[in-house]
Amino acid sequence: MAKKKEDKTFNPRKYMELAIQIMNKSIQEPRQDKTSPKVGAVLIKPDGTKETAFRGELRHGDHAEFTLLERKNRSNHLDECILFATLEPCAPGARKHPKLGCAERIVNARIKKVWVGIEDPDPSVDRKGIQYLLDNGVEVEMFDADLQKQIRNANNQFIEEAQVRAKLANDEKLAIVLSEKERTEQKAELEDLSKTHLDTFIKKAKLNVEWNTPKFYRILTQLGILDFKDEKYTPTGLGLLLFGERPQLIYQNALIRATFKTKGRSEDIDTIEGPLISQADKIQEWYKSHIGKQIDRSSVERKVTYDYPLVVFREAIINAIVHRDYDIEGAPIYFEINDDAIIIKSPGEPVKPITLEQIKRFNAPSLSRNPKIMYVFDQLDLVEQRGLGFLTIKDLPQKYNLPLPLVTYEAPYMVFTFPRSGDSLKKIAPNSALVNLNDEELNGYNFVKVKEKLTRKEYEEHFGFDKKKAERHLKVFVQQGFIERKGSGPGTYYETIAT
């Protein structure tokens, strides 16, 4: 809000929830060929008043932001206003000339901050509206992860259709570039791409195209795999990374350096190369061959149990491949297994507007640095639904009796350190106070960290402790600086402190 004294009481969550309520009023356009998105928008003015709009409110097809800014507030000054929108505002070039994208209208209106629900699912637009706002000085934040799920569920049909349209679209190329790898790779030729990998993608994505046909070139161009320049089709950097026979000939650090080391043995060091879509399987097989495992032959079908859950590792390493910053030169992904931890170092700061604080709390909203790579991995069933990665990680204490990972940023790397046991956590954690916790308290600490905010009664009931024991644990956590006690009387609760 414009008045500083109101900032302390400004609650963005309630406006996110209001935007979703408004979103559900959206009116479907009177057409049968496609589903229009449900979008809600809320405008908060400096004096504290608010105004809302939803898709199709005043005229079929009108975007919620257009209705709010142009139809309801055309003659009003909107400087210093805050906007909440459930869908990413469309980027410049996403609408046919002379129509402006909603992101351009927001910038022109001098709105100071925008809260975005989910990114536009069309991979030709994904994140570019957000990037345009950031590039023009607008502060951007994302809706909470649980609310993002509500928005996606309400727009499931639109999202599915948008992904299909992305394969067949023929719009002009958008001016905003999220990565230099979206551009033509001048050192590459069409024959540098793997026909085998591309055929697999075409089949899995149900593109229904034949190799070397006009439709083949048009669709791969729209997906950002090829570019038409100087009268010929050439791979983009992303196309080469995803489907190149040997992308490392040009991008030497688009690889994974894997290390296994344990006491009493020499290090085993390997390099995982090839196109990104094959790196995921290669590093998983390397992991399975190096991590400890037990084989249960008590049933007809033998069951292999790994010393660290494969599903958690797979989510973490694929996220590193998909979301790393490929524009950083000289920075591969580093992966290490040692006696105490599994460590993944992925190049790149948190993608704006995601913050390191949100990642440390494992409640960061879903937002991809490389939406085109994410799209290809999704079509190949290499990734689960957006946002599932953090949910899998947050299951570690309860489902696997393992500590949560430590998250740090050590330029230029995001570092995820997964302790392999409670004792390992005490050894490697930067907060030495963990050494003072017994095993029972350490389990409690991990539970509190996942919950972020809880009452004594919730802690007590989760572990089946009596009131005194729960209070004793929570008092220890407060004294060690892990949590803060807030409120008073029946309203007392405890909140984690990010470390």
13 and 58: one domain? yes
240 and 260: one domain? no
pLDDT value of position 91: 85
pLDDT value of position 362: 86
pLDDT value of position 99: 72
In whole angstroms, what is the distance from residue 69 CA to residue 91 CA? 16
348, 414 in Cβ contact below 8 A?
yes
For residue 371, the enclosing domain spans: 256-426
Q: Is residue 175 part of a domain?
A: no
207 and 227: one domain? yes
Burial environment of residue 486 by CB neighbours within 10 A (0 to 12, 13 to 18, 19 or more): exposed
Which residue numbers in the chain have pLDDT < 70?
1-8, 93-98, 123-125, 165-175, 296-302, 384-389, 498-499
pLDDT value of position 277: 96
436 and 421: one domain? no
416 and 442: one domain? no
327 and 267: one domain? yes
70 and 152: one domain? yes
Reported pTM: 0.85
Spell out the residues 6+ positions from residue 76 whose beta carbon is closer than 8 angstroms to its own. Answer: none
Domain end marker among 375, 395, 426:
426
Q: Is residue 251 part of a domain?
A: no
264 and 374: one domain? yes
pLDDT value of position 391: 80
198 and 111: one domain? no
In whole angstroms, what is the distance from residue 495 CA to residue 145 CA? 18
Domain end marker among 426, 444, 478:
426
67 and 105: one domain? yes
pLDDT value of position 5: 42
Strands (E), 45-189: 50-54, 82-87, 113-118, 139-142
DSSP 8-state code for residue 490: G
284 and 384: one domain? yes
> Domain with 151 in it: what CATH number?
3.40.140.10
> Domain with 265 in it: what CATH number?
3.30.565.60
Domain end marker among 105, 132, 160:
160
Q: Is residue 391 part of a domain?
A: yes
Q: Is residue 64 part of a domain?
A: yes
pLDDT value of position 452: 85
Q: How far apart are the first and last CA of the chain?
A: 29
* Tokens read off for 237: 């950097």
pLDDT value of position 53: 97
290 and 307: one domain? yes
Number of domains in the chain: 4
pLDDT value of position 498: 67
User: pLDDT tens for residues 152-210?
Assistant: 999 999 988 887 766 655 444 556 788 999 999 999 999 999 999 999 999 999 999 99
Q: Is residue 438 part of a domain?
A: yes
Q: Is residue 477 part of a domain?
A: yes
- Helix then strand count (H, E) for the chain reads 20, 18
